[in-house]
Amino acid sequence: MPTITTDTDNTEEPPPEAQLKHIKRSSLMLSPSWDAEANSLRHLGDLDDEDTIPVAFFPLKANDPAKKKLLQPSESAGDWSIASGNTTDTSVYSRGSSDDIWGDVPMGAPDAILGIASAFRSCQDPKKVNVCVGAYRDDDGNSYVLPSVRAAEKILWEDNEPKEYLPIEGDKDYVHQALRFAYGPNMDIDTHVAAVQTLSGTGACAIGGRFLAQFWKDHPIYVPDPTWSNHIKIFNQCGLDCRKYRYYNRSTNALDLEGMVEDLKRAKDGSIILLHACAHNPTGCDPSLQQWKEIISIIRQKKHVCFFDSAYQGFASGSAEDDAQAFRYAVSQHVPILLAQSFAKNFGLYGERVGTLSVVCGDEEQRDHILSELRLIIRPLYSSPPRHGSSIVKTVLGDPALKEQYYKECAGMALRIQKMRLKLVQALEKAGSKHDWSHITGQIGMFAFTGMNEEMCRHLTDEFSIFLTMNGRISMAGLNQKNLEYVASSIHAVTDGKSISL
């Protein structure tokens, strides 16, 4: 395809040696030209493919400086310019207009968590330990695929799982199983829940954020302080006014219920309140059911909208039913609810990107309206979700034997995490630490919020090659019998004689 640099202001006649031809727009790759008067780029991209454009073709002289830019290295001095051939020298565009347009693009800041993971991989210390990324590891430090997941994949293979596109809203059977998993057996999900399959929990939060920005305008969203770092990025990008409410008291290493309640009461009526359904990330500190009831009561009084993020159902306590109590209680109190679900952690499907977004509705007509708008949000973003991961989840949850097996396996993962909490505290005591580490055993889920400050965390990484986030969060799944004592003695070394509370 010929490459033509367009200059619509140039009305001069072509030189006599030029050959004037009319070429279809579809045959040309048109580079933009600069309109100084309008202070903008001009291009001919608005033309239809069948429209024709007069183009002057002329041979390049041997000493023409443009020759080096426009000719292929193998072409000779007598060849025509690139516009006369059927091949394109892509270097013409990259060395010209691209440099001018993209020259001011800055280097983006690296993602904090993924950057730490990259540093871990490049570290040569044989004692290095990764307690940063939230992915489950077995007691040998290996990644773990649930046997129930492997069994489901075998079934899908034997059934010749198709590779066709899913609908915009995803696999209907998968969505039904996911909603039943979250809402329980008594919810009329066919009437009162509008739901779509999403790209894991991140995608669910993003779709939900866009929906709220469009249909619940001028209402801020409050997220807990601290929260998963991606929450704020997602909701800011959706155009929501993202604010914080107090959640964790670092001076006591415990839930700041008083501060949380006060902030929820002060928030503008109808605000959106992001809540972690269970296993709060990064603190691992969850309200008790009685505290949840107090929180939901205030949300109801203030007519706030609840946006639950459920990334660890079943993985937190080992019981999917227990981990859903707070969320289901909120549903029973008839507060407006959105739910983001992820099956990355509890099913170990990290790379499959399986999730759902659901909105509790008043009736079937409202459900249909909301579902239609969710489709409109999804369609220009990624059109339809991937199929394989959702097929695994629906196969496991839809087969009674596999479902029972899965519940046992998920409970086993949760139990190992709980044991690691206890053993870490015991190892810290054995190392000689005089601190009270009981908050670690009181927390739940993938992470422990240790109380270490940034200086301590950097010391752990720089001197001991223990990689963690700078807020003191460690992934309990990264601990095992082989590295536990080393991690504990290292933590003791950086915290001895210093405060682990602010």
Closest Cα partner for 502 from 448, 442, 455, 438?
455
Buried b (16+ CB within 10 A) or exposed e, 239-277: ebebbebbbbbbeebebbbeebbebbeebeeebbbbbbb
Residue 101's pLDDT band, with cuts at 50, 70 and 90, is confident
Position 52 pLDDT exceeds 90:
no
Residue 5's pLDDT band, with cuts at 50, 70 and 90, is very low
Q: Report the pLDDT averaged over residues 265-283.
A: 97
Mean of the per-residue pLDDT values for the chain?
A: 87
pLDDT in tens, 110-157: 887 778 888 898 999 999 999 987 899 998 888 999 999 999 999 999
Q: Report the pLDDT averaged over residues 230-250.
A: 96
Residue 77's pLDDT band, with cuts at 50, 70 and 90, is very low
Instruction: Judge if pTM exceeds 0.95.
Output: no
3-class secondary-structure state, position 416 = helix
Position 6 pLDDT exceeds 50:
no
Q: Report the pLDDT averaged over residues 8-24.
A: 58
Q: Report the pLDDT averaged over residues 102-112.
A: 85
Q: Report the pLDDT averaged over residues 81-104.
A: 60
Q: How far apart are CA 336 and CA 199, in angstroms?
A: 23
Q: Are 152 and 493 in contact (CB under 8 A)?
A: no
Q: Report the pLDDT averaged over residues 410-437.
A: 95
Catalytic residues: 228, 309, 345
Degrees, nearest 5: CA angle 179-183-188: 85
Predicted pLDDT at 102: 84
Position 302 pLDDT exceeds 80:
yes
Q: Report the pLDDT averaged over residues 279-291.
A: 96
Degrees, nearest 5: CA angle 472-474-480: 145
Predicted pLDDT at 3: 44
Position 93 pLDDT exceeds 60:
no
Predicted pLDDT at 405: 97
Retrieve residue 52's tokens.
């024709």
User: Which of 2-6, 104-108, 171-175 is predicted least confidently?
Assistant: 2-6
User: Which of 73-82, 284-293, 340-349, 486-495 is predicted least confidently?
Assistant: 73-82
In the chain, pLDDT over 70 holds for what percent of residues?
A: 80
360 φ, ψ (degrees, to nearest 5): -75, 130
Closest Cα partner for 227 from 252, 247, 204?
247
In this predicted model, which residue has the larger pLDDT, 60 or 196? 196
In the chain, pLDDT over 90 holds for what percent of residues?
A: 73
In this predicted model, which residue has the larger pLDDT, 5 or 436? 436
Amino acid at residue number 351: G
415 φ, ψ (degrees, to nearest 5): -65, -40
Chain mean position to CA 183: 23
Position 402 pLDDT exceeds 80:
yes
357 φ, ψ (degrees, to nearest 5): -120, 130
Residue 2's pLDDT band, with cuts at 50, 70 and 90, is very low
Q: Report the pLDDT averaged over residues 375-389.
A: 96
Q: Are 296 and 257 in contact (CB under 8 A)?
A: no
pLDDT in tens, 450-468: 999 999 999 999 999 999 9
Q: How far apart are CA 332 and CA 355, in angstroms?
A: 23
Retrieve residue 67's tokens.
């020759």
What residue has token string 């066919």?
A: 190
Highest mean pLDDT among 100-109, 110-119, 429-438: 429-438
Residue 8's pLDDT band, with cuts at 50, 70 and 90, is very low
